[in-house]
Amino acid sequence: MTAIEVLPGCVLHPGWFPPADQTALVDDLRRVLAEAPLFQPVMPRTGKPFSVRMSNCGALGWVSDRAGYRYQPGHPATGQPWPPMPDRLLALWDAVAGYPQPPEACLINWYGPGAKMGMHQDRDEEAFDAPVVSVSLGDTAVFRIGGTSRGGPTRSVRLASGDVIVFGGPARLAHHGIDRLVPGTSTLLKDGGRINLTLRRVTKPAA
């Protein structure tokens, strides 16, 4: 399908992954999660749990705990290195990122019933010239994106299973979040819910 510019620097690719590829990607993720099980992140300082559970694959993984937000090379519970990123995700990055270096991290967020994600910026990386590439699997989510200043005008987009959204350039540090899921909109995941994958380049390439 034709790409849609949501706002400058933010492009939606509806239905990038057809149903068979979505199923194959979920199978890839099952293998990843067998090595790097989902964990419950908490907010820095307060220790309040996120409403999503998460894991990672790739050379680095994003974590949040009382000590803060950061990337690290190993799972916070097992201490083991994160599993490699599936080839399907590396191919996606090559196709849509427009960036010469590969992604280093893929954050896996699992949204169960009632889960959401407050408005935030992805700013724990060094390579702000690289975009964030996001994949939606499972139930449709209401995604909201605004500007670089908190509290400005926002735009909402429904992200269905198989959709890919890319934000970089002027939208790289845009505030964004998930307001809610739309239950029953996908049969991909047998118990419902949503998986969101975000591919990121963390470090700046060597000069």
Band (114; pLDDT cuts 50, 70, 90)? confident
Task: Output the domain CATH number for residue 68.
Answer: 2.60.120.590
The answer for residues whose C-beta is within 8 angstroms of residue 191's C-beta and 6 or more apart is none
**151 within some domain:** yes
Taking CA atoms, 138 is separated from 6, 34, 98, 181, 193, in Å, by 21, 19, 26, 10, 6
**207 within some domain:** no
Residue range 141-155: mean pLDDT, rounded: 93
**Bridge partners, 70 (sequence order):** 63
Band (207; pLDDT cuts 50, 70, 90)? low
Look at residue 1 and tell me whether its pLDDT is greater than 90: no
Owner of token pair 């060094």: 126
pLDDT at position 206 is: 77
DSSP 93: H
Q: Which amino acid is at 202?
A: V
Band (4; pLDDT cuts 50, 70, 90)? very high
**62 within some domain:** yes
pLDDT at position 9 is: 97
Domain that holds residue 140: 4-200
pLDDT at position 152 is: 87
